[in-house]
Structure 1
């Protein structure tokens, strides 16, 4: 797993984990990486400091460097309000529902078929058990969790 600090076109900065650098590139190229604040899919890697462990880090000595790190500086900005978060999630939901096919509890099966070329390539969303989602990720199927529960489609 690899963690990237990301930045959207609107200037929002956030972090996300990916299976590998290639997985990030694949998801980004297909427009599946989006800003959790505004929903923008115009997302790029932000400059980040490498995390290097040294013997000095392992001691109980306090650090002499008082320069704020990138995450600390980002924390000084005003966080979004609950209303802004709710609006962003609603916008994302509308985008997903308008541009994807709901496959319900068959999500893992359908995602695997699309990945293996047994079904036509298209954007889908649905529901999957945690074990099924983990298996998809381990198989290299590009999936990500949504910050909302899909509305169940009724016949």
Structure 2
């Protein structure tokens, strides 16, 4: 796997992983790589710095209470910052019901349970059925915290 820094013709910058450099070239030549921000398929590679990981022993030698650097924890763009804020608000103002989402949403819609803000997980077929039945739901643009690597 190889990670490339990319940009579209509108100067949006994003990273993406590819099986190989050849795989990137094949996909790019067919217009199958799209900007993560606007969907533009006029995408090219940008200058990249090599990614070198420190030896594992470096982290192990730090005191247990020493702060750890989490480069991925900080938003890299205004869009990522907005997404992080959206997630924070949803998680703070609604109840996570896990895989029981479809049942809980249907019960509230049918008046069998008190109405409250919830979020959770549903299989595509369950979500489709809720929408067909007029239950007001929408997909969230992030995975539940327990499913994040």
TM bracket, shorter-chain basis:
0.3 to 0.5
Scaled by the length of structure 1, the TM-score of the pair is: 0.45
Higher relative contact order (CA 8 A, sep 6+): 1
Give the helix-richer structure, 1 or 2. Answer: 2
Could you state the TM-score of these two structures normalised by the residue count of structure 2?
A: 0.47
Q: Please tell me whether Structure 1 or Structure 2 has the larger radius of gyration of its CA atoms.
A: 2
